[in-house]
Structure 1
């Protein structure tokens, strides 16, 4: 299991995990983050591992801030706090979850036919952008905020999910290990070529 670690101050450390790292730990992007016992256990284990490596004393109460980094993973900031929780036997994690409103979208499709059908449906909604990649037997459509101008993001996601699903792979790993099929305006080019 790979975590990128950084000590920010004597009482603060940063942990970066990709979505693949989280899945290996039993947390998927489809899992709601409301399953507190599972999340608490996972973060306490992760904090203990990071504490040993960074020589960070995480005994006592800590504040855990979780930031979603679009298409990459999560950054966890752990800060030791001076608040008094001496009546409690279990370690205390105080949660602060953050998400980026401009999260890029990455969708996975089983085959090129699903990509073509999606392009036809989305093109009708005046969405033309995106980039398309082939990786590990699947196709991936990457959309940025600027690709979504004429439609609500939730509406677009609903339409695309009829043909594929949101991917938990980062666009960086897809670009690095996959093959670029269409670099820009993928929806427009797929529509023009096949529809």
Structure 2
């Protein structure tokens, strides 16, 4: 579980599928109101407080983004509290169960995204993807001093999907950036057919 602060009132939590499995939670459970998910959220907020000093009391907007092959990104935004903290602590013990007032938004993206530290790694993975006839598609972005290759699974044969992921993982790492964040804050280097374009420029 990785936690980082995006602003004074906003944090980002990246959960791998291993993080979920360790807690007995399946990917689809995040869409359900079950005790395990509440326990996970409490654990995330405790860790956010201990690592970042992020106080999660009061109303919270929670956005959950499911990423294929990577895990989940949870964006937590703290809202303004109505009333004083004295009013909250004067409630009975049952209030502990409702300490987080959450408005949860869920979004699932099928787009596969991997980040690379060096452009040379991008060149090599594109060469391998083309040589294995896995895909020539893709969009290439620059974001946070890294290169991110985004692939649309619909344009990859289902039977070859795992092979694509394996190659990407060999040269890069799964990114916790959501596609929405990438579109908003990333710089587009190649808007389409990135694998083909890179191979054309560097190997022909």
Shorter-chain TM-score category? 0.5 to 0.7
Aligned to 2:23: 36
User: Which residue of 112, 119, 126 corresponds with 1:112?
Assistant: 119
Counterpart CA distance in 1 for 2:184 and 2:58 is 32
Q: Quick check: 1:156 aligned with 2:153?
A: no
Q: Deviations over 1:53-93 (max 9, x none)?
A: 28xxxxxxxxxxx9753478459xxxxxxxxxxxxxx97xx
Quickly say closer, same or farther: Cα 1:184–1:154, change in 2 above 3 A: same
Aligned to 1:69: 66
Tell me, yes or no, if the aligned pair for 1:125 and 1:150 is still in contact at 8 Å.
Answer: no
Q: Quick check: 1:172 aligned with 2:180?
A: yes
Counterpart CA distance in 2 for 1:70 and 1:112 is 23
Q: How does 1:13-162 map to 2 (within 5 A)?
A: 21-23=12-14, 28-29=15-16, 31-36=18-23, 40-44=38-42, 52-53=58-59, 69-70=66-67, 73=73, 103-126=110-133, 127-149=135-157, 151-162=159-170
- Relative to the length of structure 1, the TM-score reads 0.58
Counterpart CA distance in 2 for 1:21 and 1:67 is 10
After superposing on structure 2, the runs of 4+ consecutive aligned residues of structure 1 that deviate more than 4 Å are 37-40, 49-52
**SS in structure 1 at match of 2:132:** coil
Tell me, yes or no, if the aligned pair for 2:65 and 2:178 is still in contact at 8 Å.
Answer: no
Quickly say closer, same or farther: Cα 1:137–1:44, change in 2 above 3 A: closer
1:30 shift after superposition: 5.6
CA RMSD of aligned residues (A): 4.0
**SS in structure 2 at match of 1:32:** helix
- Length, aligned pairs only: 145
**SS in structure 1 at match of 2:147:** strand
Q: Deviations over 1:106-157 (max 9, x none)?
A: 1000111000000000001221001000111110000112231375211110
Unaligned runs of 5+ in 1: 3-17, 55-65, 76-89, 92-97
Counterpart CA distance in 1 for 2:161 and 2:74 is 21
Quickly say closer, same or farther: Cα 1:169–1:67, change in 2 above 3 A: closer
Counterpart CA distance in 2 for 1:160 and 1:69 is 18
Counterpart CA distance in 1 for 2:163 and 2:107 is 19
Unaligned runs of 5+ in 2: 25-35, 46-54, 76-95, 98-105
